[in-house]
Amino acid sequence: MKVAIIGQGYVGLTISVFAGEFFEVIGFDSNQKIVDQLNNGISHIEGVDSLILRNRIKAGQYKATALASDLSDADVVVIAVPTPLTKDRQPDLAFLDAACKSVGENIKNPVLVINESTSFPGTLRDFIKPSIEKYSTSKIEHLYAISPERVDPGRGDYNQKNTPRLYAGLTPEASTKTREFYSKFCDELVEVSSPEVAEAAKLFENTFRQVNIALVNEFAQIAHSLGISVYETLDAANTKPYGFMKFTPSAGVGGHCIPVDPTYLAAVAEEHGAPATFIRRANEVNLEMSKYVVDRVQADNGGSLAGKTALVVGVAYKPNVADVRETAAELVIEHLRNRGAVVSWHDDIVGSWNGETSSPLSGADIALVVTKHDDVKERDILASAPYVFDTTGKVSGAKGL
Ligand SMILES: NC(=O)c1ccc[n+]([C@@H]2O[C@H](COP(=O)([O-])OP(=O)(O)OC[C@H]3O[C@@H](n4cnc5c(N)ncnc54)[C@H](O)[C@@H]3O)[C@@H](O)[C@H]2O)c1
């Protein structure tokens, strides 16, 4: 069986490697540079081992392509393309539409189309199916299913095999075929009654995280105003064996999921006349954290940052990955610069970003830790500036939330 996977990023490449153990995989990506790199056996995604990729290529089980016509003889098509927000923070389905165009224009036989991209309830039924049909030159009855992706890049304990996978087809036949496909490489499959339930569950999982992160970020501000330690208070609350789940404060949330997915849920809620007040406010609280952090740094430094050299330590959105999408570091840097600080950043995993490169971890007036990668030593951070503010809770001896 031939499986075409559209989008070879965090989700698509990860799935390609797992599925490639059992099926012949065509990894379709519109970015030719990524395709060339992959065909040379080089993975650009943390958690996808280049050695495994090379083994799949050698065994004829994996090939990357930028040619949409290579999709034509697939039996199963998995869509794993970005679902970001537009400039005015509305759901942006342009990448999904382009993926549907590639399927519609190139696949002439009935196949199983599975969407793994995160989007609002109704996307499979009311957007993907009609979109593929719109682009098809002949009338073909494909099978359609959703299986929202839960991968957490860089995570060691949970992967595609041992993370339970939700799925639902538009028809019973689509559900059965989807189960057959994933059961090769996933231990636990959970069928739900409709694609809309699966789509909503994925959004609610990430909304749950977004709201709880906002709550703990607000609580960090309350704890500081009360003169108590937020971390000690959270540890104390966490001794309760039930009814509490610990989240930790930060400079804000980043990545392609937590700052984005809840807005998809809010948008569809409001379209249906339902309130999304928690979701909207949580988003604001998380976005405002960068300003709060810089306010604290400014207050500790005589009320002015003008002319001070500030080093932002860690610009990836989370530890041990190079992903800078929606990173809180961007807003932190913007606030520092708006107040006249001379800003550089240190992150050797990211390397280069926004036309700038990682600076040495030393010689600043102020160091502000946004993300602490495991291989960046606490003592090196503390030695990098006379004043260190840590938003991660991982640098003991520094000022912090
Ligand atoms: N990154 C995560 O941790 C994660 C986790 C769960 C779900 N998701 C969801 O999975 C989806 C994909 O996210 P990602 O992180 O893998 O994105 P990504 O940006 O890492 O990868 C997407 C890839 O798709 C390619 N692409 C874009 N449009 C294309 C098209 N029309 N045809 C072919 N290739 C195209 C891009 O070049 C890119 O390589 C999103 O909906 C996201 O919300 C992501």
Residue 154: its pLDDT value, please? 75
> Which ranges of 301-368 does DSSP label H, i.e. alpha helix?
328-338
Q: What is the pTM assigned to this prediction?
A: 0.93
Residue 263: its pLDDT value, please? 96
Mean pLDDT, range 232-260, rounded to an integer: 96
Q: Which atom of ligand 1 is nearest to the CA of 257?
A: 43
Atom 36, ligand 1: residue with shortest CA distance:
7
Q: Where are the domains of the chain?
A: 2-192, 204-400
Residue 313: its pLDDT value, please? 98
Question: Mean pLDDT, the chain, as a whole number?
Answer: 96
Residue 6: its pLDDT value, please? 98
Q: Is the CB of residue 326 below 6 angstroms from any atom belonging to ligand 1? A: no
CATH class as words, domain 204-400: alpha beta
Q: How far is CA 108 from CA 70, 74, 129, 169, 270, in A?
A: 12, 10, 15, 21, 38
Tokens of 296: 């604290």
Mean pLDDT, range 201-227, rounded to an integer: 98
Residue 129: its pLDDT value, please? 98
Degrees, nearest 5: CA angle 240-241-245: 75
CA of 80 to the centre of ligand 1 (A): 5
- Answer whether 214's CB lies under 8 Å from 286's CB: yes
> Which ranges of 340-397 does DSSP label H, i.e. alpha helix?
378-383
Residue 126: its pLDDT value, please? 98
CATH code of domain 2-192: 3.40.50.720
2-192 shares its CATH topology with 204-400: yes
The model's pLDDT over 23-53, given as tens digits with 9 standing for 90+, comes to 999 999 999 999 999 999 999 988 899 999 9
Mean pLDDT, range 287-291, rounded to an integer: 97
> Which ranges of 45-191 does DSSP label H, i.e. alpha helix?
50-58, 94-106, 123, 129-135, 172-183
Mean pLDDT, range 325-336, rounded to an integer: 97
Whole-number percent of the chain with pLDDT over 90: 95
Q: Is the CB of residue 121 below 6 angstroms from any atom belonging to ligand 1? A: no
Cα–Cα nearest to 268, from 220, 196, 219: 196
- Decide if 257 is catalytic: yes
